[in-house]
Homo-oligomer: A and B are copies of this chain.
Amino acid sequence: MDRTVTWQAIRAEALRRIRAGTWPPGARIPDEAELATELGCARATVNRALRDLAEAGLLERKRKGGTRVPVTPVRKATFDIAIIRQNVEERGQRHGYRLIDDAPRPPPPEVCATLDWPAGPPMRHVIALHLADDRPFCLEDRWLNPAVAPPVQAEFTSVSANEWLVRNVPYSDGTIGFTARPADTQAARWLDCAEGDALLAIERTTRTEAAPITFVRLTYAPGHRVDATL
């Protein structure tokens, strides 16, 4: 009376063989049908397990080419993108928020280029500070398509643009990247550090098919760390 074999068990066994060198780097491993027979389960179960390992970068699969252990694996790491208030509260701190500036301005060239926004017309430029237990946490510097978030509907005085967008224009596509930047005058002032201090910044671009939504740079207070999982 065999217990059912789960795909997680198959994945664990495959991972064990990879780590043990039973399936060395560069080698082709048995095909799904063969493994299914050997391990006593359906091919679909093997497929699920190997597909999962392939998504993590631990295997490479190609039709007809079979499944191989990559010589130089490219692992995937993931991190969560929540609203800032959630980030703060997850740390067990109280989230505070303060709107610093909100005005229409023509965006700088690099923002225009990133968002496919013409050089002339203004966007809505919003600057706000997020606090954790009354200490500066993160400076939000955002350029918004005014058609998406008109000032009348979205004030950003008590709810941040970050949160307003997630609730009202959710599930859009975009890009995200990490950089380190020296604190400029404004960042130094609001994040309570010296000009030139090394700050971690996350830049996001968000858009729908038709139109750009927003470009935002989140500059974190000194020492901030963003963790990812493998």
Q: Is the CB of A81 within 8 A of B74?
A: yes
Q: Of all chain B residues, which has the CB nearest A174?
A: B230
Q: Is the CB of B82 within 8 A of A74?
A: yes
Residues of B within 8 A of A25 (CB): 167, 170
Q: Is the CB of B83 within 8 A of A72?
A: yes
A75 part of interface (Cβ distance < 8 Å): yes
Residues of B within 8 A of A72 (CB): 82-83, 86, 163, 166-167
Complex Cα–Cα for A228 and B227 (A): 13
A198 part of interface (Cβ distance < 8 Å): yes
A110 part of interface (Cβ distance < 8 Å): no
Residues of B within 8 A of A18 (CB): 170-171
A181 part of interface (Cβ distance < 8 Å): yes
Determine which residue in A180, A229, A230 has the highest number of CB atoms from chain B within 10 A of its CB, and name it: A180
Q: Is the CB of A76 within 8 A of B74?
A: no
Complex Cα–Cα for A19 and B226 (A): 28
Shortest distance between the CB of A225 and any CB in chain B (Å):
5
Q: Is the CB of A86 within 8 A of B74?
A: yes
- Taking a contact as CB atoms closer than 8 A, the residue among B15, B182, B227, B230 that contacts A198 in the complex is B182
State which residues 65-103 of A face B: CB under 8 Å.
71-83, 86
Q: Is the CB of A78 within 8 A of B75?
A: no
What does the 1/0 interface line of A41-81 toward B look like (CB < 8 Å)? 00000000000000001100000000000011111111111
Q: Is the CB of B227 within 8 A of A177?
A: yes
Q: Can you report 21 A-B residue pairs in the complex whose CB atoms are below 8 A from each other? A: A15-B171, A19-B170, A57-B80, A58-B171, A72-B82, A72-B86, A72-B166, A76-B80, A77-B78, A77-B80, A78-B78, A173-B230, A174-B230, A177-B226, A178-B225, A179-B200, A179-B224, A181-B198, A182-B198, A198-B199, A200-B200
Given A72-B83, A77-B79, 6 additional A-B pairs, CB 8 A: A19-B170, A174-B230, A175-B227, A180-B180, A180-B220, A200-B200
Q: A-side interface residues toward B, CB under 8 Å?
A: 15, 18-19, 25, 57-58, 71-83, 86, 163, 166-167, 170-183, 196-201, 220, 222-230
